[in-house]
Chains A and B, each alone.
Chain A
Amino acid sequence: MIDLDQATLQWFNDHAAQGILITDAQLTIRNWNQWLETHSGRTAEEVIGRNLLEAYPDLAARRLDQAYTRALAGQVVVLSQRLHHYLLPMPPANPHTTFTHMQQSVRIAPLMTDERVAGTITVIDDVTERVEREEKLKHQIAVQEALQEIDRAILTLDLQECLQRLVHYTSALVGASTVAVVLRNNGKLQLGAYVSGEHRQQNLSADAERSIAAWAIRHGQAILIEDLMTIENHAILTPLDPTSRCAIAAPFIVEDEVIGALVVEAARARAFSEAEESLVIALATQAAIAIQNARLFEAEQRRREVAHALLEITQVASSSLELTQVLKHIAQRAAAICDASRCAIFLLNPTGERLDPVMAQFADGHVDSDLWATFKTLTAPVDAIPLLQKAIRERRPALFDDPSRTDLVPRAWSEPFGVQKLLAVPLISHDRAIGVMVLDITKSGGKFTPDQIDLAVTIGGQVAASIENAQLYSRVQHMAITDSLTGLYNRRGISELGSREVNRAHRFDRPLAAIMFDLDHFKHINDTYGHPIGDQVLAGLAARCRLSLRDVDLLGRYGGEEFAALLSETSLSDARKVAERLRQRVARAPFETDRGSMRVTISLGVAPLDEHCEDLTALLKRADQALYAAKQAGRNQVCVWSP
């Protein structure tokens, strides 16, 4: 029997703010204070004298009888709330708590008499409110951490990563079995990210438009459905996971536009309340900013890529590369930045009746001879490919998006490659269609967005400009006035510059003479040693003659082995001396070639400009007649024109 101080016990019983339970060594309850009466609903009269483990069989079931065994062995025992929740089952003091039992923190100590354990004393603290505060704080910290994580995701600016983190944190914070991000893209609902305990799905079901996500997106407000089974119009609010009973959806709103929704679902009815709803709304608000930022960033990045590609195309287009190289480069870049599979370029022939393929490239730049082989055969009258004709006639992009319309695009083109979409952009230069650029998509599901079509038109303009430039350049090349073999003026150079000399001589009544000369037996050299040797002789001859003339004199290769020189401010007799000097210098020394030294001679005709000689052509004709005479007279000599 325990001997307890009556006054102390009285105080425990009446005033202690804790439960105080005293047993003897047999665990018979000896004291049960007022606090315990109040909270357990059992009076002292009911329990005193009963065995604790019999009065509370729950203790043994939860193996808490061991705590008393230890106490009876002399140990002080601590039972923490976290590990045991409670010792004696009692309702919580505050009925509005989330706990079914009062949460308790307990110490059990042996009561000693003469160094023997005579009984136990148990002190029970009600820690329900404290634990609730702690849980709330922990939850708030977790929410803050999640929001910070989403903020961090905003900084990383990868949309997919943002969404993955969002569903991950939402799932952890709300305790949902299913969390999904549904995004609205061009009016259609798409699944952005999804986590689920059991079901993994990649796509929204067909009736996504009737889902709770669609409702939140349409109404622009959050919705909480505590039990999907009890709502009247079940059909208009389907969960994403058919087994869900409870769901919340909160819209992502950016600048008054609803861009999607965050959906959480649980299998248990009433799993969520307003607390979870406001949390989901907070997460959705944060996420909307992240999604918008990520989208803006992606769009900005895309713009930069496009700007960069266009700059590159412009640089290539204005470079000195030959047209084929330019078009090859542009075609590949165009296909790549428009997300097309391939790009081909057709040019209209000068009469505008036929389209000739000039280039075909894959987006990744790989070379495939089959591709070009196919395109090469596509040379056709314009009206044979109606899609291209349409683009050229209407001067705007024409889109082919139905592979079965073989009447629009030849089978030879669409079928071997499985073309799904095709975009034809007319190439317009100086208000005139000069050809068409064609982009196609061979993978199913691909499509051209309005942005890509705009981009293709811009690139088409660049292609047209390049072609225009290249054609202009080749015209200049064609008109060029120098002869590439000899470095002298060519016939065109002689004509243009010589005409100016003739006009000037006439205008100022100044003397001007022309010499035409020709390599003797040049055909023989070519036939015997080949054209390359002939060319070497011509080049050597040109160089030697150039050195024999003044800088002001015009010297040119008039054609073949025939040369012409215009000597300004020179009388006929002086011109005759110059011609004789040329003849001697050529004949005196041989020319070095790859086939050894070669001795050659020239025949020359000299003619003066006079009032009867109207233009350069007439002057050169006179010199040519004199040259003919020199040839006739036996070659290697100078003849002067005579009327």
Chain B
Amino acid sequence: MVLNEHQSDALHELTNIAVGRAAAALSDLTGRHVLLEVPHTRICSITELPVTLSDLMSGEVATVHQIFTGPVAGDALLLLSHEAATILTKLLTDEPISSKRLNVSDQEVLIEIGNIVLNACLGMFGNLLQVHISFSVPRLHLDALDTLLDSLVIGTEELRYALVVSTTFRLQDTQVGGHLIIVLGVASLEHLLSEIEALG
């Protein structure tokens, strides 16, 4: 599936608005000025996702994962390199960055941040489609990238697509990159795209 220019622009604009809200929520939560930018949005089939992601990052990753159900269903993930996850957590909580380890409390912070970002994006889509989406409790996976991708690819028989939104967190003169990935069935995605097109 290839997006036409109009769809692509509209999708990009929507995600920008969504992460903007997430950034506002994060700033509010942590008392720090947090900016979130979306330099890039793309859509690929689930089978292409491993290649797309391995171009973007490698090694140990931290993923906040939420399953959403309802008229539109799928998986939502905030994917960060382990290093990015560490830096982001420490910056948002004023902890010194010396330790590379994420303890359980650090992991909880990451879950809370991920939850806010994912909710903002999916909430936006829900509003757009005027459907109610239910979320699972978010979970954090600290795995190698491959393991995560396997868990996404294996599963349903339905043709699925991934919306990959590259994001940049900016705070305290530091930039931390991450990726929002929303995995949808083809039907959900077409539904979403037609609504996006209708906006224009």
Contact = CB atoms under 8 A, between A and B. Distances in A.
A134 interface: yes
Interface in B19-56: 28-30
Given A74-B132, A76-B115, A82 B106 contact: yes
A224 interface: no
B17 interface: no
A82 B98 CA distance: 18
Contacts of A523: none
B99 interface: yes
Interface string B126-137: 100000111111
Given A76-B135, A138-B99, A70 B105 contact: no
Interface string A125-140: 0010011001001100
B124 to A, nearest CB: 12
B14 interface: no
Given A107-B137, A134-B104, A138-B99, A75 B123 contact: yes
A530 B99 CA distance: 93
A130 B105 contact: yes
Contact of B103 (A70, A73, A76, A137): A137
Nearest to A116: B132
Interface string A559-575: 00000000000000000
Chain B CB within 10 A, most for which of A77, A80, A105: A80
Nearest to A63: B28
Q: Is the interface of A mostly helix, strand, loop or mixed?
A: mixed
A127 B137 CA distance: 18
A145 B111 contact: no
B15 interface: no
Contact of A77 (B28, B30, B115): B115
Nearest to A109: B137
B74 interface: no
A112 interface: yes
Contact of A81 (B92, B105, B134, B137): B105
B9 interface: no
Given A115-B132, A131-B105, A134-B105, A78 B99 contact: no
Contacts of A76: 66, 115, 119, 135-138
Interface residue tally of chain A, by bracket? 20 to 34
A74 B134 contact: yes
Contact of B109 (A63, A70, A80): A80
A83 B29 contact: yes
B108 A82 contact: yes
A76 B98 CA distance: 32
Contacts of B30: 83
Interface in A51-101: 63, 70, 73-83
Contacts of B98: 141-142, 145
A141 B95 CA distance: 13
B190 to A, nearest CB: 22
Nearest to A138: B99
Contacts of B136: 76
Contact of A78 (B28, B111, B133): B111
Interface in B80-120: 92-93, 96, 98-99, 103-106, 108-109, 111-112, 115, 119
B103 A134 contact: yes
Contacts of A138: 99, 103
A110 B135 CA distance: 9
Chain B CB within 10 A, most for which of A78, A115, A137: A78
Contacts of B132: 74, 115
A73 B132 CA distance: 10
Interface in B59-91: 66
A107 B119 CA distance: 14
Contacts of B105: 80-82, 127, 130-131, 134
B109 A83 contact: yes
A110 B137 CA distance: 11
Chain A CB within 10 A, most for which of B66, B93, B105, B135: B105
Contacts of B137: 76, 78, 107, 109
A79 B135 contact: no
Contacts of B134: 74, 110, 112
Interface in A18-70: 63, 70
B28 to A, nearest CB: 8
B115 A78 contact: yes
Contacts of A137: 103
A75 B136 CA distance: 9
Nearest to B101: A141
A70 B108 contact: no
A80 B112 contact: yes
A423 to B, nearest CB: 52
B112 A79 contact: yes
B96 to A, nearest CB: 8
Contacts of A145: 98
A122 to B, nearest CB: 12
Contacts of A63: 28
Contacts of A77: 115
A80 B42 CA distance: 32
B119 A70 contact: yes
A80 B109 CA distance: 5
A80 B134 CA distance: 21
A80 B119 contact: no
A247 to B, nearest CB: 26
Contact of B108 (A74, A78, A115): A78
B133 A74 contact: yes
B119 A81 contact: no
A75 B108 contact: no
Nearest to B30: A83
Chain A CB within 10 A, most for which of B103, B136, B138: B103
B115 A83 contact: no
Contacts of B103: 134, 137-138
Given A83-B93, A131-B105, A75 B119 contact: yes
Contacts of B126: 74
B111 A80 contact: yes
A59 to B, nearest CB: 15
Given A70-B119, A83-B30, A78 B138 contact: yes
A81 B108 contact: yes
Contacts of B66: 76
A351 B30 CA distance: 92
B192 to A, nearest CB: 18
A279 B128 CA distance: 58
Given A134-B103, A145-B98, A105 B108 contact: yes
Contact of B104 (A73, A109, A130, A142): A130
Contacts of B109: 80, 82-83
Nearest to B104: A130
Given A81-B105, A81-B108, 6 more contacts: A73-B123, A76-B119, A80-B112, A105-B108, A107-B137, A112-B134
Interface of A: 63, 70, 73-83, 105, 107, 109-110, 112, 115, 127, 130-131, 134, 137-138, 141-142, 145
18 contacts: A70-B119, A74-B123, A74-B126, A74-B132, A76-B137, A77-B115, A78-B112, A78-B115, A79-B112, A80-B105, A80-B108, A82-B105, A82-B108, A82-B109, A83-B30, A83-B93, A115-B132, A142-B98
Which 6 pairs of residues, A with B, have the shortest CB-CB distance?
A80-B108, A80-B112, A76-B135, A78-B112, A80-B109, A82-B109
Interface of B: 28-30, 66, 92-93, 96, 98-99, 103-106, 108-109, 111-112, 115, 119, 123, 126, 132-138
